[in-house]
Amino acid sequence: MSKRWFAEKKREHYYRLAKRENYRSRAAYKLKQIQFRFNVIHPGWLVVDLGASPGGWSQVAAELVDRRGMKGGVVAVDIARMKPIEGVTVLRGNMMETATVEAVRGALAGRNADVVISDMSPDISGTYSVDHARSVELSGTALEFAQKVLRPGGNFVVKVFQGELFPGFLRDVRQSFKNVRANRPPATRSQSSETYVVAKGFEPRRKEQGASAAGERSSPGRGGPGQSETVLPGRAREASAEASGPKRPLSLTVPGDGGREPGEAKAGTDEEE
């Protein structure tokens, strides 16, 4: 990165605000804005944060679940190292690998999550079509995981880059959730193509019914949920830690707010699906 890029970043409003309010990244304000608009996290809830490093989203989630005399929990996962956060169980591993998924399940200690949030991003190649496809693959991995661990009625928030595969991903999410919106919080950089899919009201049987109906109609171009297994090109590491229960600091992320992102889009918009 150039010196000019770092100088501009330091002058940027949300970067300076994060420094002042002791958040680990400017991305914390994206989750705050999503929470203000959609109310996806409640006191006492159990949250799984995918792609958590450096920890801005986990900090916000921990604040939201420990309120009104109620104490919830946050399990944070990333491929990168992450410093401990009070009240957060930190796991390090790759969500594309079974060992990491099982480690997260262990940290949940037999409970279902109330919310799965994901700010995962792929390594940016600079080629728009490649970065978009990798982002959709990674978001599909987060969706598969959410379908496995969420309780009925649970919520899901995931980052994905805009592009030709985006409508298909929205259809996949809609097969499992009652309400789905695509939203660009104001803290999103204007030059970024990232969008957040906010899904509320997990319905496990909704996915099965959608797959059955799609099979009966034999609709072209609309893949069933069984096709969401993904393999993301690039680095892959085995999970380096196993969880023994919530509240035990352990460290995974694809950086949630780092790197250059392709494309341009207008911030502050959302549409209901």
Would you name the residues annotated as active-site residues?
A: 159
Report the distance separating Cα 244 and Cα 128, nearest Å.
40
List the one residue out of 112, 36, 106, 41 whose CA is nearest residue 70: 41
Look up residue 152 and give its amino acid.
Answer: P
CA count, 13 A, side-chain hemisphere, 262 = 19
Is the preceding omega at residue 186 within 30 degrees of 0, hence cis? Answer: no
Cβ atoms of 78 and 235 closer than 8 Å: no
Cβ neighbours of residue 35 under 8 Å, at least 6 residues apart?
A: 41, 60, 64
Helix (H) or strand (E) holding 148: helix 128-149
List the one residue out of 167, 171, 156 whose CA is nearest residue 210: 171
